[in-house]
Amino acid sequence: MKIWLITFLMFGYLISNAQRFSISPDAQNIFYVGFDNPLTITVENYPSKSIIVKTNYGTITGNSGKYIFHSDKIGKADIILYKKLDGKIKEIGRGSFRVKSIPDPIPKVGPSSGGNIDKAILRNQLYIRAEFCCGFEGSFSIDSFTLCIVRGDSCLYKEVKNIGAKFSDEIINALRVIKKDDTVIFKKIFGKNFDSPSIQLTPILFFITE
């Protein structure tokens, strides 16, 4: 996916030239490329409004201790703090960040992403969705998926394709006839996040227990 995360590497306060400072993301110690990521910066015994903040990997905007960091590529990012001293710009210190991709979202139907399930619970579902891990709150839309119900050694129906996340009447009717020991497979699940290209997610396998 073309969405990446930046994992914060620093903990607590950093010290440079005997001056303490802190560079702290405002949410969960994680930044995501392609998003405006808020962070708070403080320097001990120095007014926040006078701090100059730069980065060598993306852009950073803001003032008075509150900033927005934005990046769109993998690598290593430094947040660099400066102050004016005797008319000159002097570096206070810097913090380093790793930039890496996050896992694809996990597709789910009802309460879970697969495993044992009561047929009544599965019959009452109307949507398939995808959730990101790692605390990421992005929105992922389902473009299409295919349903297959296996009974014994064969597929009970020919594969049923669904457009969108909401179950079509054909999908709902197929789920109405599932029985104990059937295997229900949601596969060929395609979707995308915002303007990213469509990707295929891992299949969901449900084993009907009752």
Taking only the tens place, the pLDDT of each residue in 11-59 is 344 444 557 899 888 876 677 777 788 899 999 888 888 889 999 999 9
Share of the chain above pLDDT 90, in %: 47
Look up residue 99 and give its two tokens: 């930039």
pLDDT of residue 129: 95
pLDDT of residue 15: 47
Q: What is the pLDDT of residue 31?
A: 76
Q: State the pLDDT at residue 99.
A: 72
Both tokens of residue 66?
């509150």
At 178-209, the pLDDT tens digits run 999 999 999 999 998 766 788 999 999 999 99
Name all domains of the chain by residue range, CATH numbers in brackets: 4-101 (2.60.40.10), 106-208 (2.60.40)
Structure tokens at 103: 């896992």
DSSP letter for 111, please.
T
Highest mean pLDDT among 1-5, 109-113, 133-137: 109-113
Whole-prediction pTM value? 0.67
Mean pLDDT estimate for the chain: 85
Note the pLDDT of residue 28.
65
Query: Does the structure show a pLDDT above 50 at 144?
Result: yes
Average pLDDT over residues 55-77: 90
DSSP 3-state percent helix, strand, coil across the chain (nearest 5): 5, 55, 40
Give the per-residue pLDDT at 126: 96
Model confidence at 137: pLDDT above 80? no
Of 13, 5, 70, whose CA–CA distance to 31 is shortest? 5
pLDDT at 6 exceeding the cut of 60:
no
Q: Which of 66, 65, 87, 74 lies closest to 34, judged by CA?
A: 74
Tell me if 101 sits within 8 A of 61, measured CB to CB. no
- What per-residue confidence (pLDDT) applies to 36? 80
